[in-house]
Every structure is written in structure tokens, then in C-alpha cells.
Amino acid sequence: MTTQRRNVAPTYRCDDGPSDPVGILRRMLRRIPIARRPAALAATLAAVLATAPTPAAADGSREVELRLETLTTFRMYNADEGAAAESDDFVVPVAVAAGDGGPARNVRVVVDTTGLKGVARAAKGGYGNCTGEGPVFTCEYGDVQNGDGEANAPFTLHGVDGVEPGDSGTVTYTATADNAAPVSGTTRMTVGGPTLHTPERTETVKGVEPGKSVPLTPRFANHSRFTAERGVALHITARDGLSLTSRPENCSFDTGFTSAWCEFSTRAAPDTAYRTSSPITYRAAAGKLTGTLTYTWSSDPAKPADLTVRGTDDPLTLTGTADRGLTGSTGDVSVETTVQADYEPVTGTVRGRVGDTVTVRLGVRDHGPGRLLGSETLGGFEVVPPEGTTVTSIPYTFEDGGGAWACERPEKPGGAFVCDIGSDDFYEVRHEGGTTVIGFRIRIDRQVPGARGTIRTHNPYDRTPGNDTAVIPLDASPALPYRPYRDPAVWAGGVAVAVAAVVLVAGYRRRRRRAPVVTPPR
């Protein structure tokens, strides 16, 4: 049953009580002379209304404050991209100021892109909760929690041909909620300068010794018809244990020196290529196996706010270079150090009698010193069982399930079982930086004097191959002569026969006791 809520006007008792507004008014009027009542009445009414209680909202909600956290200026696309440009990066974040008023209910944002005419075209976008085909779009944000925020991409931007760097338009937007005053904002949407291209192929650097500086020379090319009138900027980021060691004074860094923004006054002309006049250096931290560097170039310099540490060395400059392979959007550098992750096999002996099925725990022992990160780089081991044996299962558990084969089985007899310790099948037994083993169920089929299987470990950063392989010996004893009767099915049949015999004997004895005793005549 649906309960409808009615808006009921507040009522007051007319009993001249001490806090009753009507009573207060009556008592005040008694004290005011007739000649003075018109002017005094207005003042009295204002005082009474100011002290009268205001009714709460029918549903108990309270007013909250909405805030728009949008950018004042947004670069839509590069001028040389023209109609090929497409972007849904523009978002409208709405936040609720922290307080005790609860969530903002039914938040909605209406965005008007009429001001983009001639510089961009806005089409339907959003995260599935925005409607409209343009120029006006409506996005439903739902309830937004107090002190929290939500964002939405109200449209997808498409470029237009014929624009110049610096052309711009505006987007306006208004956010509303059931229990908040509306707030509005405007963002100037600009067309950027020329696209600056980086090397297309990833540069690979191997043999980096941790702690020692390594040079990198970033490059770019301007293939457009526009000049970078505002100069250019380089943004470089080091990850996975790498850090920057150069400190040019025209660069700003984060406090960990893993990100840098370097500005150059060079007005890169059309169809030219440049590189830094001297290398930027970086180093790897101790114990790190790999790392990555990425860099981009921009013709619209705007330093990120979190890069606050200014360099103190001589400034970095640009010089012309050959335009070879400069067709990418991001320069990528893959770094591999001299640190290794040394694996050694964990092996065991297949020991038992012919016909037995035994468990042998096999796996890897990680000696480091480097630590492998990510399941795709953990490697694993391969097992070839000894002659005269059969692997019947390699059981594993994972969460609430599991299976019989944790390793990939060979296609042909005598092949290797391939075990990937980074897979989910090894999740319950994997110990990164330690020992990872799993039980192989192996049946001994026959005696083969001197039979030995092998186990071989591997990972991309094991630089000590001499300890990667070990043997799996077979120690098989002859089957016992009464082994068939050790089979559970045979034992069950024997037990059934024995039980039947006992029952027959017991029955015979009971009948003997019940038979009457006949006394022969004398």
C-alpha cells in the first residue's frame, strides 16, 4: 500500500499561552494605544513572525549545498586533428559540501553546448545516464552522499575542420537537487596547438645496474601546418622503482622525483623534429627487476599543480634532430636491470610398491633477490615423470572449488607437465619470494631400475641456469603377493561372506537350543 504524504500547514493554539504567537500578539496589542496601533502593529507582526517556529519539510530532509568542481578552461583537441578529433574527456563533477544535512537527492545536471558552434560539435555521450542529442544534455546523478561527489561525461566532443589554435567556445551547466539550491558554471573550451609526435616504437634498455644513472633523450616532431606559438612542454613519468636524477632549472618535479614537467620557449615550426640538447637521467632502485618511463610533448604548456619542486641545474634546451619513427603519441621506455630472480626446483622421490599411487610434492624455491610482480611474469616449472609411472592427477583448490589438474598435461606420452605458478590453480599454494609446491599423484606401474624423471624451473629473470633442473628418482618395490586382496572391493566381498557365515552359525546354534530334549524309555 502506498502512503501519500500531505503538506499540512502548521497550526497554533489560541490559548494565550506564554509561547503562543497569537497570544503574544494579543497581549502586545493590549499595551499599544489606539492612535499608535497602525505603525506599531507592523513592527509587532514582524517581531512575532521572526520568533515563530518554521515548519520542517514534510519528509524530514534538510537543505544541503551543491558545488561544481569543473575546470575553468578545457582543451578540446589539437587544431591539426580537425573533424577527426573525438573526445569524451570533459566531465562535470558535482560535490555535496560536508555537513549534517544528509545526501543531495535526485541530483541532475543540464548542460548547454550552444556556445561551441563553429569550434566543436557535441553528440550524445555520458556513462549511460545522460540524454539528449544536443545542444542540450541532461544527466541524472541520483542521490549524492554528503561530503562526496559524482562526475559524468555529458557528451562526446567532435572536432571540426578549419579551426585555428586558440579558437574557443563555451559550455554552461546547472546542477539541481530536491533539497539544494541550484548552482551554475561555465567552462571555456579551447582548440589546442599542433600535435607533437613521439617515437612509435618502445625503446628497450637492458643491463641497467641499480643505483647508477642512465641517459634518456626524448624526441618529438611537429607534422602539422601550425607553429607551436606558446612553446612546448615535456612531461616525463618514471614507474616501478625508477626515479629521475636530472634537475634542470626549467623543470618542476614531484617530491619523489618520479614525474617532471619541463618547459621550453622553442616555437616548434611545422615539419620539424627536435630532441633535448642533453639527456635526462634516471636510475633504478635496489632489488628492482624492471621499470618503465613514459613521456609526452605538448604545445599547450600547463604545468600540473602537484609538481612543486623546482630544478637547480643548468636549463635543458632543444635542438633539431632527424624525423625518424616519430609518429606515436607517447614515448615508452622499458627498462630491465641486472637483478635476477633465481629459481631452484623442489623435487622428491617416487617411492612405493608397484601398484601404489603416491603423492610427490614438486615446485620451485625463489632465491630472489629480485621480486617478480604480476602473474604473467612469475614463470613456473615443467615435470617429466620417471619411466614406469603415470601421473593420475595434480589436484588443486581455488576459493570454493578446484580441480584435478593444476598443470597443463602433455599431448603425447613422455611429455612434460607445464605448471604456471601465476595461475589461479596455484593461488592457494603460491608463496611469492618463497617456496611454491603442489602434490603430484603418481601411480607406480612397474619397476624400472635407475628410472629418473626431471623437473625444470623457469622465469624471465632467472640468470643462473645451472640450478634450474633436478631429477625425480623412482624407488619402486615389488608388489606384495596378496595385493589383489588389498583392493577395497575385494575386501568388501570377503567381509560380506564372513558376515553371512557368522549369521548361519548363530542361527544353527539357536535352533539347537530350542529343540526339545527326548528322554529314552527305561
CA 224 – CA 221 distance, rounded (Å): 9
Q: Give the global pTM.
A: 0.73
**Higher pLDDT among residues 33 and 401, named by residue:** 401
Region 93-116: mean pLDDT is 95
**Higher pLDDT among residues 400 and 47, named by residue:** 400
**Could you tell me the fold of the domain covering 66-192?**
Immunoglobulin-like (2.60.40)
**Higher pLDDT among residues 1 and 354, named by residue:** 354
Q: What is the pLDDT of residue 467?
A: 97
Region 107-125: mean pLDDT is 95
Region 210-219: mean pLDDT is 97
Say whether pLDDT at 103 is over 80: yes
User: How large is the C-alpha radius of gyration of the chain?
Assistant: 41
pLDDT tens profile 242-259? 999 999 999 999 999 999
Instruction: Render 272-283 in DSSP notation, one character per residue.
Output: EEEEESS-EEEE
**Could you tell me the fold of the domain covering 341-477?**
Immunoglobulin-like (2.60.40)
Q: Which residue has the cell 541520483?
A: 142
The terminus-to-terminus CA distance of the chain in angstroms comes to 103
Residues linked to residue 336 through DSSP beta bridges, in sequence order: 290
CA 206 – CA 161 distance, rounded (Å): 44
Q: What is the pLDDT of residue 134?
A: 86
pLDDT tens profile 181-192? 999 999 999 999
**3-class DSSP assignment, residue 29:** helix
Say whether pLDDT at 412 is over 70: yes
Say whether pLDDT at 387 is over 70: yes
Q: Name the pLDDT band for 206 (thresholds 50, 70, 90).
A: very high
Half-sphere exposure of 53 (CA within 13 A, CB side): 9
Say whether pLDDT at 46 is over 80: no
Helix residue ranges per DSSP H, 413-516: 488-514
Q: What is the pLDDT of residue 114?
A: 97
- Classify strands 280-284 and 214-216 as parallel, antiparallel or unpaired: antiparallel
Strands (E), 265-400: 272-276, 280-284, 290-298, 309-310, 318-320, 331-337, 341-346, 350-353, 357-369, 380-384, 389-393, 396-398
Q: What is the pLDDT of residue 29?
A: 40
* 204-337 and 341-477: identical CATH topology: yes
How many residues comprise the chain?
Answer: 522
**3-class DSSP assignment, residue 88:** coil
Closest Cα to residue 253, out of 288, 280, 271, 277?
280
State the Cα torsion 334-336-342-343 to the nearest 10°: 20
State the CATH class of domain 204-337: mainly beta
Say whether pLDDT at 7 is over 60: no
C-alpha distance from residue 333 to each of 236, 299, 304, 330 (Å): 11, 22, 22, 10
Say whether pLDDT at 39 is over 90: no
Q: What is the pLDDT of residue 361?
A: 98
The domain segmentation of the chain, as residue ranges, is: 21-51, 66-192, 204-337, 341-477
pLDDT tens profile 475-492? 999 998 865 544 555 445
